[in-house]
Amino acid sequence: MKFTIYGSGCAKCKQLTANAEQAAQQKGLAYELVKVTDTNAIIDAGIMRTPALAIDDEIVIEGKVASADEVASLLD
């Protein structure tokens, strides 16, 4: 499983990263974490609001910090 976090590296981005990692660990899933901070790469991915989370290259959260439980529900 691959998590991609899109954002500038701000506190909200870091919290979304931590929540995604916590969700994967709760489910016992192996994962790869990629952080995209380049503005052009974020725009190219179609992201309009950060932070954003993609799971296996599908954008599932944009413009908010989802809780670990919210992320976990997306993993089912």
Contacts 24+ apart (CB under 8 A), 60-64: 61/16
Two tokens, residue 19:
């929540």
From the list 3, 4, 7, 13, the catalytic residue is: 13
Pair 51, 7: CB distance under 8 Å: yes
Catalytic site residue 10?
A: yes
Catalytic site residue 13?
A: yes
Pair 24, 1: CB distance under 8 Å: yes
From the list 1, 8, 10, 26, the catalytic residue is: 10
Q: Which residues are catalytic?
A: 10, 13
